Amino acid sequence: MFINERARLGIFRWRYNLAFYYKVALAFAFAGFTGISAQFNFYLPFTPVPVTMQVLPVLLSGVILGKHYGAMSQLIYASLGALGLAWFAGNTSGIAVLTGASGGYIIAFIVAAWVIGYFTDSYREARSKLSQAVLMFSGVIIIYIFGAAQLSFITGMGTREAVLKGIFPFIPGDIFKAIIAIGISSVLLPEGSYAIEKKNFNSKLLALSTGGVAITLGLFWISIAQIKTLEAFSLVSTVAIYSIAIAVFGFGILKSLRG
């Protein structure tokens, strides 16, 4: 490790004990990090959603700032952008961006940062490499779900088209960003307790259950994408089958959190 355990533990205890205004300042700093990352962008010819570097600071904000201030950093980013600060992708701003085709991804940043921060701060086992990998990819999935849903709603795309244009093109790049975030978190996160965690959880069961949810969602998206005409029976049966599978894995997640 580049930073020894004692130093890593000290960093996070320091962050936890910071005065409120310092924590808010860090949230603004990460909002700026997200805004800068949005400027590294380009568009693919077949989707209205830009490819950016934003996913990386979103994932790291939950790890470094925790659930409240990680989510706050992304709320600041979304709010100031909506109020006119031109730091959305392509130096754009305004409420129209949040309510437009790509707005769901920005809104999802808040949720993803909170989820990652919650687990990282609440459970010691969540700071292992395996758990961090699960959390980072879960954060990406959250962004995809919110983003594709709003893309479909705003543009009138069907589910199949929204998946093909709003999820699939971004998977390779987001895997790369998640791996970078996992590497950074493994260097920064302490293995020891910093006195705010809840009881331990079953990290292996959580990893398997969360992986099961991710795989099931992936198969669901692929199944929907392959249905050219969404007949009522085909749609209902597909949703029912995958909903049952997700419920089973969801039960596994809840059970893992109880130790």
> For the segment 146-182, what is each residue's pLDDT rounded down to a tens digit?
888 888 888 888 777 888 888 888 999 999 999 999 9
Instruction: Give per-residue pLDDT as tens, 111-155.
Output: 999 989 988 888 887 888 888 888 898 899 889 988 888 888 888
The whole-number pLDDT of residue 74 equals 95
The whole-number pLDDT of residue 208 equals 67
DSSP letter assigned to residue 114: H
Residue 39 has pLDDT above 80, yes or no: yes
The whole-number pLDDT of residue 219 equals 67
Residue 54 has pLDDT above 80, yes or no: yes
The whole-number pLDDT of residue 205 equals 62
The whole-number pLDDT of residue 75 equals 94
The whole-number pLDDT of residue 247 equals 62
Distance CA 20, CA 44 (A): 41
For every residue of 88-103, DSSP letters joined together read BTTTB-SHHHHTSTTH
End-to-end CA distance of the chain: 29
- Listed by start position, the domains of the chain span 5-200
Write down the architecture of domain 5-200 according to CATH.
Orthogonal Bundle (1.10)
Residue 252 has pLDDT above 70, yes or no: no
Beta-carbon contacts of residue 214 (< 8 Å; ≥ 6 apart): 137, 138, 141
